[in-house]
Chain A
């Protein structure tokens, strides 16, 4: 029996399930947006609490991904700063808020 992994990813990346619409590269793709607030540590006594925007997306939707490409989610604008492709057709993209 073969597992249709691509179909599973498409289901997860559906805006009716876990994903949101992302405006990117002149079109719209769907991806899971995570914006958890995390403590940023440094040499100071106290940390800074900052949001950490990340996008989990189909690798195929970001085939020509490059640093500093723009995308928007709702009314918020971001730049792509880094990404990790997990090799199964899914990538995590690190965003910088503009």
Chain B
């Protein structure tokens, strides 16, 4: 059985694959290798950190707060900044329309966006890192089933 964290990550990636048409299905989960020009524009989804606390003793239940990061990579002459923002719009709209992550979470919402531009290469690059907070609940005895 998979951890609910994996199910949430996969669900978000699926929603983005369908909803973010600007990246033409180039959505990766937990990618660790560099992206080449042929793979741009692209999105990568990571579940990077999580905290939890005891919600109830009976039944023993954990309330979890997870940081889910969506990285955006775009490359274009002249429109790299607008392209990043346009992709961010589609990401926010797609995730916002799945507020309970298909029943896996209590809620998901955007808490920060960091954007950087680089002109050192043959075409300008824009990279955005969007952090979402995901609240979900599991039994202490079963981390693979959302409550």
Contacts and interface: CB of A to CB of B under 8 A. Distances in A.
B127 A95 contact: no
B31 to A, nearest CB: 6
A39 interface: yes
Interface in A64-98: 81, 94-98
Given A39-B34, A43-B114, A98-B77, A48 B125 contact: yes
B124 to A, nearest CB: 8
A42 interface: yes
Interface stretch (A12-20, A22-30, A49-57): A49-57
B69 to A, nearest CB: 7
B1 interface: no
B33 A96 contact: no
A81 B118 CA distance: 13
A52 B124 CA distance: 11
* Interface magnitude class on chain A: 20 to 34
A94 B119 CA distance: 10
Most chain B CB atoms below 10 A, which of A49, A51, A97, A98:
A49
A97 B44 contact: no
B123 A40 contact: no
A51 B121 contact: yes
A48 B127 contact: yes
A42 B69 contact: no
Interface size class of B (residues with CB under 8 A): 20 to 34
Contact of B122 (A41, A44, A53): A53
Contacts of A52: 120-122
A35 to B, nearest CB: 8
A5 B51 CA distance: 65
B123 A96 contact: yes
A46 B125 CA distance: 13
B82 to A, nearest CB: 17
B128 interface: yes
Interface stretch (B19-27, B35-43, B55-63, B98-106): B35-43
A44 B129 contact: yes
B122 A46 contact: no
Interface of A: 35, 38-53, 81, 94-98
